[in-house]
Amino acid sequence: MCGIFGIYDHTEASNHAYLGLYALQHRGQESAGIVSSDGKQLHHYRQMGLVSEVFSRDILKKLPGRNAIGHVRYSTAGSSELKNAQPFMVDYANGMISIAHNGNLTNAFLIRSELESRGSIFQSNMDTEVIVHLIARSKEKTFLERTIHALRQVEGAYSLLFLTEKEMVAARDPLGFRPLVLGSLKDAPVVASETCAFDLIGAKFIREIEPGEILLINGKGIKSFKPFPRKQPHQCIFEFIYFARPDSFIFNHNVYEMRKSFGVQLSKESPAGADIAVPIPDSGFPATLGYAAQSDLPLELGMIRNHYVGRTFIEPEQRIRHFGVKIKLNPVRELLKGRKVVIVDDSIVRATTSRKIVKMLRNAGAREVHVRISSPPITGSCFFGIDTPKKSELIASSHQVSEIRKFIHATSLSYLSIEGLKKCVKGEEENFCYACFSGDYPYPFQMELE
């Protein structure tokens, strides 16, 4: 769960990288960083915190040059600390390299222990660092060839941006788990995790970078390479369900429309005899619109979100602990009192959120609370970059829907079926990964979150 952004040959490269990261903030809130190149050397700044907290005008001035890449991080591999913030940068025999990675490598531990046994010293505990070591050790001549050589050895999910003194390279793994899009700002090529980053800077969307494609961007323009054997794509369906921004266009679709169609399908599968439909902000909104329209139910904003909640707040005393959801969401009593309510949310992970929401709605006077979830039950961890925790913490890995309903005190509970989800991406259903719902991982690997 990270966002990446890159821009090549623009007078205001680092300023645009800053804005691009700003638009991608939803993909990671732990740390942010930018590396720029002035053609001779790389300049680097990364810090824990939000993009707006990390960068100031003065800091951006210290990132000169016409090329830049940036990263916002939400850790899925490696702990949350500064040494694991990205872009990661090293100096090696052939110059400087920096790398920004979205995804998770499934064989990084194996490669790392092999490299360490041959004397490599690692600076971080991120999976991403193995790519840099493999590039540095490669006997190939050009940076692109070294990169391809390194990427042939890693397995898993990667949407990547590399910056050297003179070149930028963008790469998407052969299964295409994470999104990566190409655009242009006047004549300057831009690359980002999602198109919402282009909209903010006024860049034009050109196309998605294809699974298994590598782009070399330098003074001669953009060149595309497809060095890996072609594989069946496994784009992450959870990007549509929860992670990506609804205004983005990724995986050949607008995220908002896709989410809305999940709500329509959910209503066809599991109508609820309710008076009003209430979205759980913000991620449940588009699906609720679809659900309410299909069910012919009035949509009411019965839950209001406080948009100013920071990442941490001081929890006063034991008595009012477990504030988490309460500080973020508050019910509108006047709307809910005595009514049969159906709420639509995008997913249940541990079920602590839905349990608290149902309790709040009941306390606010709702007579019935029907819960509809616009994704199937999450029964398995993700090893490809979504932060779904270890299997034992996923409530649906060990409980039936009827047990989860009881646990969250809902009048009724239904999830979207896997078949229903596939219907929404009809014609392209083979191109997506559903492993967190089906347990059917795209390839065998040695990795266990437990």
Shortest Cβ distance from residue 396 to ligand AMP (Å)?
Answer: 10
Q: Which of residues 241-280 bind ligand AMP (CB under 6 A)?
A: 242
The amino acid at 311? R
Torsion on CA atoms 420, 426, 432, 436, rounded to nearest 10: 0
Look at the block and give the residue holding tokens 């309710």. 274
The amino acid at 7? I
Shortest Cβ distance from residue 414 to ligand AMP (Å)?
Answer: 16
Give the burial class of 209: count Cβ atoms within 10 A of its Cβ; 0-12 exposed, 13-18 middle, 19 or more buried: buried
Kindly name the residue from 2, 236, 424, 436 that is annotated as catalytic.
Answer: 2
Shortest Cβ distance from residue 386 to ligand AMP (Å)?
Answer: 5
CA geometry: angle at 222 spanning 221 and 228, to 5°? 150
Does position 305 interact with ligand AMP (CB under 6 A)? The reply is: no
Q: Which of residues 226-245 bind ligand AMP (CB under 6 A)?
A: 242
Shortest Cβ distance from residue 100 to ligand AMP (Å)?
Answer: 20
Residue among 20, 22, 13 nearest 62 (CA): 13
Cis ω on the peptide bond leading into residue 442 (within 30° of 0)? no
Residue 147 DSSP SS3: helix
Residue in 98, 283, 381, 414 binding ligand AMP, rule: CB under 6 A: 283
Decide whether 5 or 74 has the Cβ nearer to ligand AMP. Answer: 74
Start-to-end CA span in the chain (Å): 19
Binding mask 331-370 for ligand AMP (x = CB under 6 A): --------------xxxxxxxxxx----------------
Report CA-CA distances (Å) from 249 to 27, 77, 282: 15, 26, 18
- Whether 2 is catalytic is yes
Structure token pair of residue 136: 């540095």
Binding mask 100-119 for ligand AMP (x = CB under 6 A): --------------------
Residue 146 DSSP SS3: helix
The amino acid at 287? A
How many CB atoms are located within 10 Å of the residue 13 CB? 29
Q: What whole-number distance in Å separates Cα of residue 229 and Cα of residue 97?
A: 26
Shortest Cβ distance from residue 373 to ligand AMP (Å)?
Answer: 9
Shortest Cβ distance from residue 374 to ligand AMP (Å)?
Answer: 10
Residue in 37, 388, 411, 414 binding ligand AMP, rule: CB under 6 A: 388
Look at the block and give the residue holding tokens 């010293």. 121
Decide whether 6 or 377 has the Cβ nearer to ligand AMP. Answer: 377
Decide whether 173 or 346 has the Cβ nearer to ligand AMP. Answer: 346
Decide whether 43 or 405 has the Cβ nearer to ligand AMP. Answer: 405
Decide whether 274 or 386 has the Cβ nearer to ligand AMP. Answer: 386
Shortest Cβ distance from residue 410 to ligand AMP (Å)?
Answer: 13
Does position 386 interact with ligand AMP (CB under 6 A)? The reply is: yes
Contact window for ligand AMP (CB under 6 A) among 60-68, 141-149, 187-195, 380-388:
380-388
Residue 48 DSSP SS3: strand
In DSSP notation, 268-312 reads: HH-----SEEEE-TTTTHHHHHHHHHHHT--B---EEE-TT--S-
Decide whether 49 or 324 has the Cβ nearer to ligand AMP. Answer: 324
Residue in 38, 165, 387, 429 binding ligand AMP, rule: CB under 6 A: 387
Interface with ligand AMP (CB under 6 A): 242, 283, 345-354, 386-388
Catalytic residues: 2
